[in-house]
Structure 1
Amino acid sequence: MREKLDSLIDSLCRQGDYMCLNVLVQRDGETVYSRTAGYADKERNIPAREDTIFHLYSMSKPVTAAAVMKLWEDGLLDLMDPLTRYLPAFREQPVREDGRLVPRQSEITIQDLLNMTSGIPYPEGEETPEMSRLFEEAMAKAEGPGAFGTVELANRIAQTPLVFQPGTRWRYGASADVLGAVVEVVSGMRFGEYLRREFFEPLGMEDTGFFIPPEKKDRLAVIYRMPSGSEPVPYHDKHLVILDSETEPAFQSGGAGLVSTAKDYAAFMTMLMREGTSGGRRYLHPATVRFLRSGHLTPRQQETFDWPRLRGYTYGNLMRILESPQEQCVVCRKGEYGWDGWAGTYMEIHPEEKVCALIMTAQIDRENDCARRMLRNGIYRWVL
């Protein structure tokens, strides 16, 4: 039966749905399926391999959530703490309501940031002019001596308006980037260093971080623009201030900055699947992981969690959590959780079945929900 999934993966790359795919499925930490197809770099004729490095983009968010959970578990912060306790620059942040700037009525909490209920948006053109200008400035300075650091960019975000009063709605935005700054303030070290010390090094995630050393650059998958009906074009812009940097970048984005391999990221997923334990070491308490994988939106907030492809899910701690499988047009079970990335990466963890499934790729500008559903259904039907 697994040959059917092999054939599907090969055909999706061959017919242009994906430039490359690296699909990995593990049960209780053991690999039960692995397949690579397509090109990591079409122009240089480099095929995708098991050790190909991918930009995670928003699949960085679950890692950031785990870091915050670790600080919470260690008693170094409380989830109901006001953000201003760690980043005082947010004290005077206004809210845009009906075209006017009005005072904020309540504090942003750490849990608001984890639930995307803070009111902090992503840059979205004319709808968020101040945030859009800030990210344009950050991108222009990203590779020079004036590059914004993680805390500095968060403090600049504090000067832009919220799009709603904290805690009243859900909206995807730069909350995870602000959480990266909180981790730096609380831990007293750079965000990337904290992740290395607490997770990456002990988990053996040697190809995961915020930059790609020169000796590994040839393993990095090129991101392709792949609009339907057009030839793929390599993408080299700095989306959300994310660089192909060979050294530690000034801004270490908790929302989108990490690169990793399938093997590395699966090690992180397995740790979560095993409720915080891996290789005989405890990273998080089981109760912490159970909290991490739980939905935390109120009924009012849930009404605005309205992405069509996430029908049946709720949200919490920077991840989706499946509550109503019957609303998803895929074979799935209640309790599945995970997230995905701007360039096509996708992860899901099934705690009851002890299964982790991971799709790594590198492309934008192509609506691949149908192809992804085919892959997810294939994993369930032909592997598990």
Structure 2
Amino acid sequence: MKELSQKLERLIETAVEKEEIAGANIVVIRDGQEMAFAADGYADIEAGKKYERDTIARLYSMTKPVTSAAAMLLMERGLLDPGAFVEEFLPGFHNAIVASGGKLVPTVRPVRICDLLNMTSGLMYGGDVTSVCSMETEKLFDRIKEHLYLEDAMTTQEVANRLGLIPLQFQPGESFQYGTSADVLGAVIEVISGKTFGEFLKEEFFEPLDMEDTAFYVPENKQERLAKVYQRTEQGLELYTENHLGIMNAMEQVPAFESGGAGLVSTLDDYAKFAAMLLQEGSYQGKQILKPQTVHYMTNGSLMSWQQEVLDQCWEGIRGYTYANLLRIQKEPGKSPMFTSIGEYGWDGWLGAYFCNSPKDRLTMLLTMQLKDAGTTSLTRRLKNVIWSELCGGRRE
């Protein structure tokens, strides 16, 4: 639909002009047919390089749905039990402790795989100075960053085992906390498969799905397509080159730590294949990547009521959604701050990549940008509202 593409392009163009972003691209697919594509702005302002359809973007947390799918594949093969204890795979989680009331106490029960999938493990990210768990996690990621390019760079399993030694924020299953659970899950997948996480994903997903530009690094012959990262400052957009969450900003070599929570790069068209596979009940061009029942389980989960209360209080931007299997899943569209439909699922990333599938509308929306601390932006919500109003009747059920 040319008209929809033009509307989306104007929104992106205006955001670029206002220096909300450096550049972005978006694609909308319905029933397997492309309904709209738009791109504007720059992948590299200094070099005058445009943000194109094949621009490679750092996914950050949009890596998590891929990690979830990998866990689902092992579950359907009978190799991964979501009720199993993480300590069975990673010894760092033996005798885990919890920071409670200024004291360190034993866990009532060990962390389970399902806790990793639903972010109910008690693991955190860094940045919260009021939390022992968060501050110790911050120290660990500082150590990872310091050794990123050294021979003793920490591996995926080493990082996960070290995370297991850090006091948990709460008793496993007691609450909800967005954190490093997906990184630990990636390490569990390594242990079960006997392969690096990157090798497992390549063999089981990226090669069967023809995702040629998706990996934990960008080879030299593709580096010119990797977008630069920008941050907003009082002086306007400025280049951001720091490494974050143990991820190399330059993405120029295979990392020792392949982060299941944040490490992948991809393109619109690559991730669209992964999204299409999920929307088509695990099938892609005649290949059954996941079983239909597996996809149904993955995309229809829910937090327990007491965990949902925490999510609702701490994350206003995803009101109406629950969280399960490393996905936001829409349960009450009337509470959402943007147009959506019941059953819509997906996730976003720290630099602004955004993904959603709506089975009810047979619709996929994919957006990438490379803006520091972006997540789901105002631009994202405006783009999504236009798409839903054009294709889904502005449905808020």
Q: TM-score, normalised by structure 1?
A: 0.97
Contact kept, 8 Å, 2:350 with 2:375, in 1: the verdict is no
Aligned length: 383
Structure 2 CA distance for partners of 1:202 and 1:370, relative to 1, 3 Å: same
Task: Say if 2:21 and 2:237, in contact at 8 Å, map to a contact too.
Answer: no
Per the alignment, residue 51 of structure 1 pairs with 54
The aligned residue for residue 370 of structure 1 is 378
SS at match of 2:245: helix
User: CA–CA distance in 2 between the matches of 1:125 and 1:383?
Assistant: 41
SS at match of 1:132: helix
Kept in 1, the 8 Å contact 2:317–2:337? The answer is no
Q: Which fold has the larger relative contact order, with Cα–Cα distance below 8 Å and residues 6 or more apart in sequence?
A: 1
| Amino acid aligned to 2:32 | G
Deviations 1:15-62 (A, max 9, x none): 222211110111122211111100000011000111100000000000
* CA drift at 1:245: 3.0
Kept in 2, the 8 Å contact 1:226–1:366? The answer is: no
The equivalent position to 2:353 in structure 1, one of 339, 345, 357, is: 345
Residue of structure 2 equivalent to 1:235:
240
1:135 aligned partner: 141
Contact 1:28-1:270 at 8 Å conserved across structures: no
SS in 2 for 1:309: helix
Q: Give the partner amino acid of 1:242.
A: I
- Could you tell me whether the CA contact under 8 Å between 2:320 and 2:331 is conserved in 1? yes
3-state SS of paired residue (2:27): strand
Unaligned residue ranges in structure 1 (runs of 5+): none
Superposition pairs of residues 168-247 of structure 1, within 5 angstroms: 168-227=174-233, 229-243=234-248, 244-247=250-253
The whole-number CA distance in structure 2 between the counterparts of 1:147 and 1:343 is: 24
Q: 2:194 & 2:375 partners in 1: Cα distance? A: 41
Secondary structure of 1:234's counterpart equals strand
- What SS does the aligned partner of 2:53 have? coil
Q: Does 1:328 align with 2:331?
A: no
- Separation in 1, partners of 2:240, 2:322: 32
> Which deviates more, 275-284 or 121-130?
121-130
Does the alignment pair 1:248 with 2:254? yes
**1:323 and 1:354 mapped to 2: Cα distance?**
17
Q: Cα distance, 1:369 vs. partner?
A: 3.3
Task: Report the Cα distance in structure 2 between the residues aligned to 1:99 and 1:139, rounded to whole angstroms.
Answer: 29
- Closer, same or farther in 2 for the Cα pair 1:47/1:178, shift >3 Å? same
Separation of aligned partners in 2, 1:368 and 1:109: 29
Moved beyond 4 Å, runs of 4+: 365-368
Partner Cα separation in structure 2 for residue 368 and residue 116 of structure 1: 19
Partner AA of 1:317 in structure 2:
N
Paired position in structure 2 for 1:104: 107
Correspondence 1:16 to 2:24: no
1:202-222 alpha-carbon deviations (Å, 9 max, x no partner): 111000000010111110010
**Cα deviation 1:175-208 (Å, max 9, x = unaligned):** 0000010010000000000000000011110000
8 Å CA contact retained: 1:51, 1:261: yes
For residues 325 and 375 of structure 2, the distance between their equivalents in structure 1, rounded to whole angstroms, comes to 26
Cα contact 2:318–2:337 (8 A) shared by 1: no
Aligned-residue Cα RMSD (Å) equals 1.3
TM-score with structure 2 length normalisation?
A: 0.94
Could you tell me whether the CA contact under 8 Å between 1:226 and 1:365 is conserved in 2? no
**After alignment, is 294-303 or 189-198 more displaced?**
294-303
For residues 59 and 380 of structure 1, the distance between their equivalents in structure 2, rounded to whole angstroms, comes to 21
Q: Does 1:41 align with 2:49?
A: no
Deviation per CA, 1:290-334, whole angstroms, max 9, x where unpaired?
110113211011111130001111010001001111111322111
Q: Deviations over 1:101-137 (max 9, x none)?
A: 1111111111100000000111225322221111111
CA distance in 2, matches of 1:202, 1:154: 28
Looking at structure 2, the residues matched to 30 and 129 of structure 1 have their Cα atoms a distance apart, in angstroms, of 47
CA distance in 2, matches of 1:4, 1:54: 23
Q: Which amino acid counterpart does residue 255 of structure 1 have in structure 2?
A: G
SS of the equivalent of 1:119 reads: coil
Q: Percent identity?
A: 43
Structure 2 gaps, min length 5: 393-397
> C-alpha distance in 2, partners of 1:300/1:14?
44
